A and B are shown apart, each in its own frame.
Chain A
Amino acid sequence: MSGQVASIRQRSAAAWLRGQLRNIAPFATLLFLVVFFSAASPSFASVGNLYNILTQVSVTGIIAVGLTFVILCAEIDLSVASIANATGIMVAFFTVQDSSVNIANVPLAGWVAIAISLAACIALGAVNAFGITVIGIPSFIMTLAMLQIGAGICALLVRGQIAYAVPKLVLTLGSKSLGPVPWIVIVAALILLTAHLVLTYTRFGRYVYMVGGNREAAEYSGVNVRAILSAVMIISALCSGVAGMLGVAYFGSAQQNEFDTYLLDSISAVVVGGTSLFGGQGGIGNTVIGLFVLGVLNNGLDHVDIDSFLKILIRGLILLIALVINVYAQRMRSTEPVGN
């Protein structure tokens, strides 16, 4: 009798663990990496390096917030890095540049430059939304086109040159610190927190999960699925825009192709964190873990003596493993025993 109870308890514990696989696996990976690098390098585990890691993942983190919304809806946005780059260049384009910079820029007041840039990235997101929800282009293709369009905007504005100056507010948030804490970390943390609250505690957040969980059912429930999809595409573009402006200040320059690696990094962060590519499962908490996994990995590999070309391969392998776990976790959930 008691043995029976124990075995039932064991089984339900096992079922719970399987259901939580997508949350546990990334966290275990992170713990492993931290322990490994701390043991392998004396310089890794220090407060100074913690700030390094935080700063390094901030731009990716802001982009990943928007992507989390998109992926939760079972869509994808490939234009994030491109929109970030275009927005960053735009804010520089509307700022007074040093006379050595040879681009036909239009200097405006700092707040005007910021407002125009934000409006522009929202507009690009709206075009994505229109293509996906009204015309019916798959998001993969639509945002691929937008990736090109963003690159085109970058090219036209800077014409191969590099701009340096950005509005003062952007400069502060992107490259200055509040005491020991870089402003960009604070901004990223606030955006992550806000997104978490929106996804967890608001009606809109519920709709995002429901649309991702079963789009047809959401439609049959009278949820305006198109409006939700449009909103997440615009949120994604807006996050990218903010990340682009701060990134330009953080890098100290605005030029073409400087955000190229951020597309893969941000998608990796979301997926490695355990948010389901099939939608409806995951969230900002997962994305934060994913960001740390990538951040610790990138930073840690610099601390141990390793071939820098091998680093690229290792990151690819980590992403592959995360994808396998992601798909595997999805399958486990869908084959969970259904009781009476």
Chain B
Amino acid sequence: MPLLELSGISKSFGGVAALRGVNFILQSGEIHGLVGENGAGKSTLMKIIAGVHHEFEGAMRLDGADIRFANARAARDAGIGMVHQELSAVRELTVAENVYLGVQPLTRFGTIDWRAMNRGAGEHLAALGIELDPRTRMGALPLGLQQLVEIARVLFSGARIVILDEPTSALSPPEVERLFGVLRRLREAGRSLIFISHFLDDVLAVCDQVTVFRNGQSVAAAACRDVDKAWIIQRMIGAGHDELADSYTGERQLAAPPAAPTVLYVHNLTRAGAFRDVSLAVHAGEVLGVYGFMGSGQLELARALFGKLRPTSGRIVVAGRSASLRGTARAKRAGIALVPESRRSMLFAQEPVFKNVTISMLERISRIMLRPATERGIARRLIGELRIRPPTPDRPLGTLSGGNQQKVALARWLTHLPKVLVLSEPTRGMDVGAKDDVVKIVRGLRQQGVGIVVVSTEPETVLALADRILVMKKGAVVREFANEVVSKDRLLAAA
């Protein structure tokens, strides 16, 4: 009898189906890999198992008995624990306090029994093969150890099933090995683990079983020893199926680096904890794609190029001039522009559209006094060019739809062209029409000689836009695709 069995699970959000008739079986004492692209439905299923979503169709059985959790607490009480990609450990507390979070042992006087707590935590960690002083402050530990402590905490709270979300994305190879050691030990102790990951090599290395998700469905399940990476990738992206007509699955011939002058040259750029030794060059009129899974350091790289994050070391040269990128104002003056991936962090929701558009070019429009008529004129022209709806420069930006807000963020840099434009996740969350508009805008800018860097965790975005592609993995550039045929499965295999 399987430990946990889900059958025919369907779930939709506001009419959009996230899961369609998903089946999932977890055996006792097994490590079960869960793979699929972003938006394939993995997280939704895990949230159902963890009791976060409790309205869904289908059946869930734990130990053969029908069960439905009313909330996350009920799932926890039933022995289901989750370790998130963004660790939820309290960095200011000690390891022991984190392990005992919420259940600290007390002395007769009602104070915390530190001795019992430290001893208990130490023994508990040792049982998992983790040698660690429980009195260490959590924040002082490297990420890999913090993660192990968090797993220990989840187990300590009585979890029989532990869901691990992207546990290896921020770990170095030895840390990954240590994590795998702990996971195998848990398996031997009869616990069951669900291992969600984009890193297929890691899944194949540690899991017994793998289930592949695509487009809200569980499309394949197999024992890991029977399959290889290519098999999984094929099922993830569904080559040969037309149900993903809107996503790019074909091959694409990349261009050779153009003869045009280099507008951006980055040498050995490093930021501790985010990315290291990144070197790249972007030519005028070229689109460089930077692809990597979430947490590979490419989003931080984009910020560092715009002076928003200070690199630890390395050099950035813009159009032949060494640029000191301390602060975004200097980066802008040097000719670099960035559209970040999060709308909230780039837009002024309560201000009218035209102020959002002109904020980056005010110094070109006015010396001291503002010229609102000119600003509205510029805004109106860009609204027309980018087909922003509704076409009114005085509407508060927050009342526009997401895709239109994103266009406004892009519009900012289109009047006085930068030398280098960095686009972070430029089409995330957009409908097909808006995506097409963005592709057209980027092509237009390339025509005008702007060097463009497209940073994304979606292979489709990079494939649709880039002339040349760098693949980043755990903070380093691991592969460059240029002047060759590339396809989604090759990108995924490199990452």
* A residues neighboring B (CB under 8 Å): 201-207, 209-210, 213-214, 216-224, 226-227, 280-281, 333, 336, 338-340
Contact of A226 (CB < 8 Å), options: B327, B348, B355:
B327
A219 proximity list for chain B (CB < 8 A): 308, 328
B457–chain A nearest beta-carbon distance, Å: 19
> CB distance A201 to B370 under 8 Å?
yes
B369 proximity list for chain A (CB < 8 A): 201-203
Given contacts A201-B369, A222-B329, A340-B401, contact A206 B347 (CB under 8 A): no
> CB distance A220 to B348 under 8 Å?
no
List 27 contacting pairs A-B, 8 Å CB cutoff, sorted by A.
A201-B369, A202-B370, A203-B363, A203-B367, A206-B362, A210-B359, A213-B350, A214-B344, A214-B345, A214-B348, A216-B346, A217-B346, A217-B347, A217-B348, A218-B359, A219-B328, A220-B338, A220-B345, A220-B346, A221-B346, A222-B331, A222-B333, A222-B337, A223-B359, A224-B327, A226-B327, A333-B350
Would you give the 0/1 interface string for B364-402, flagging 1 where the beta carbon is closer than 8 Å to chain A? 001111100000000000000000000000000011010
CA distance A223 to B350 in the complex (A): 18
B419 on the A face (CB < 8 A): no
Q: Main secondary structure on chain B at its contact with chain A? A: loop
B328 proximity list for chain A (CB < 8 A): 219-224
Query: Which residues between 294 and 340 of chain B lie within 8 Å of chain A, taking CB atoms?
Result: 306, 308, 327-329, 331-333, 337-338, 340
Q: What is the size, in residues, of chain B's interface with A at 8 Å between Cβ atoms?
A: 33
CA distance A189 to B214 in the complex (A): 67
> CB distance B399 to A220 under 8 Å?
no
B27 on the A face (CB < 8 A): no
A280–chain B nearest beta-carbon distance, Å: 7
CA distance A206 to B357 in the complex (A): 13
> CB distance A214 to B363 under 8 Å?
no
> CB distance B350 to A280 under 8 Å?
yes
> CB distance A210 to B308 under 8 Å?
no
Q: Main secondary structure on chain A at its contact with chain B? A: helix
> CB distance B308 to A220 under 8 Å?
yes
Q: Residue of A at shortest CB range from B345?
A: A216
- A/B pair count, beta carbons within 8 Å: 78
A33–chain B nearest beta-carbon distance, Å: 30
Q: Residue of A at shortest CB range from B359?
A: A221
Residue of A213, A217, A218, A340 with most chain B CB atoms under a 10 A cut-off: A217
B360 on the A face (CB < 8 A): yes
> CB distance B355 to A206 under 8 Å?
yes
Residue of A207, A216, A218, A221 with most chain B CB atoms under a 10 A cut-off: A221
B113 on the A face (CB < 8 A): no
Extra 14 A-B pairs, beta carbons < 8 Å, given A213-B351, A220-B338:
A201-B370, A203-B362, A203-B369, A203-B370, A206-B359, A209-B351, A213-B350, A214-B349, A220-B346, A222-B337, A223-B329, A224-B329, A333-B350, A336-B398
B306 proximity list for chain A (CB < 8 A): 220
CA distance A219 to B332 in the complex (A): 10
Q: Residue of B at shortest CB range from A337?
A: B399
> CB distance A221 to B368 under 8 Å?
no
B370 proximity list for chain A (CB < 8 A): 201-203, 205-206
> CB distance B347 to A222 under 8 Å?
no
> CB distance B399 to A338 under 8 Å?
yes
Q: Residue of B at shortest CB range from A200?
A: B370
B362 proximity list for chain A (CB < 8 A): 203, 206-207
B405–chain A nearest beta-carbon distance, Å: 10
B344 proximity list for chain A (CB < 8 A): 214, 217
> CB distance A338 to B348 under 8 Å?
no
B412 on the A face (CB < 8 A): yes
B416–chain A nearest beta-carbon distance, Å: 11
A338 proximity list for chain B (CB < 8 A): 398-399
B368 proximity list for chain A (CB < 8 A): 202-204
* B residues neighboring A (CB under 8 Å): 306, 308, 327-329, 331-333, 337-338, 340, 344-351, 355, 359-360, 362-363, 366-370, 398-399, 401, 412
A274–chain B nearest beta-carbon distance, Å: 15
Q: Residue of A at shortest CB range from B339?
A: A220
> CB distance A227 to B338 under 8 Å?
no
B52–chain A nearest beta-carbon distance, Å: 24
A140–chain B nearest beta-carbon distance, Å: 21
Q: Residue of B at shortest CB range from A220?
A: B346
CA distance A223 to B361 in the complex (A): 10
A336 proximity list for chain B (CB < 8 A): 398
A132–chain B nearest beta-carbon distance, Å: 15
> CB distance B331 to A220 under 8 Å?
no
A226 proximity list for chain B (CB < 8 A): 327
Residue of B333, B348, B367, B369 with most chain A CB atoms under a 10 A cut-off: B348
CA distance A187 to B349 in the complex (A): 37
B331 proximity list for chain A (CB < 8 A): 222
Q: Residue of B at shortest CB range from A227?
A: B329
A202 proximity list for chain B (CB < 8 A): 368-370
CA distance A226 to B307 in the complex (A): 13
Q: Residue of B at shortest CB range from A281?
A: B350
Given contacts A220-B338, A227-B329, contact A210 B351 (CB under 8 A): yes
> CB distance A221 to B412 under 8 Å?
yes
A329–chain B nearest beta-carbon distance, Å: 12
Contact of A222 (CB < 8 Å), options: B332, B345, B351, B355:
B332
B347 proximity list for chain A (CB < 8 A): 214, 217
Q: Which 5 A-B pairs have the closest CB atoms?
A: A222-B332, A224-B329, A221-B359, A220-B346, A216-B345
A220 proximity list for chain B (CB < 8 A): 306, 308, 328, 338, 340, 345-346
A18–chain B nearest beta-carbon distance, Å: 13
A199–chain B nearest beta-carbon distance, Å: 11
CA distance A267 to B424 in the complex (A): 41
B354–chain A nearest beta-carbon distance, Å: 11
A131–chain B nearest beta-carbon distance, Å: 18
B401 proximity list for chain A (CB < 8 A): 340
Q: Residue of B at shortest CB range from A204?
A: B368
A223 proximity list for chain B (CB < 8 A): 328-329, 359
A333 proximity list for chain B (CB < 8 A): 350
B308 proximity list for chain A (CB < 8 A): 219-220
A105–chain B nearest beta-carbon distance, Å: 40
A282–chain B nearest beta-carbon distance, Å: 12
CA distance A338 to B397 in the complex (A): 10
Q: Residue of A at shortest CB range from B360?
A: A221
Q: Residue of A at shortest CB range from B363?
A: A203
B390–chain A nearest beta-carbon distance, Å: 8
CA distance A217 to B398 in the complex (A): 14
B110–chain A nearest beta-carbon distance, Å: 34
Contact of A339 (CB < 8 Å), options: B333, B340, B399:
B399
CA distance A216 to B366 in the complex (A): 23
CA distance A338 to B404 in the complex (A): 13
B338 proximity list for chain A (CB < 8 A): 220
B351–chain A nearest beta-carbon distance, Å: 6
B327 proximity list for chain A (CB < 8 A): 224, 226
Q: Residue of B at shortest CB range from A280?
A: B350
CA distance A240 to B367 in the complex (A): 28
CA distance A336 to B368 in the complex (A): 33
B367 proximity list for chain A (CB < 8 A): 203
Residue of A204, A210, A216, A222 with most chain B CB atoms under a 10 A cut-off: A222
CA distance A223 to B329 in the complex (A): 5
CA distance A207 to B359 in the complex (A): 8
CA distance A227 to B329 in the complex (A): 10
B355 proximity list for chain A (CB < 8 A): 206, 210
> CB distance B350 to A203 under 8 Å?
no
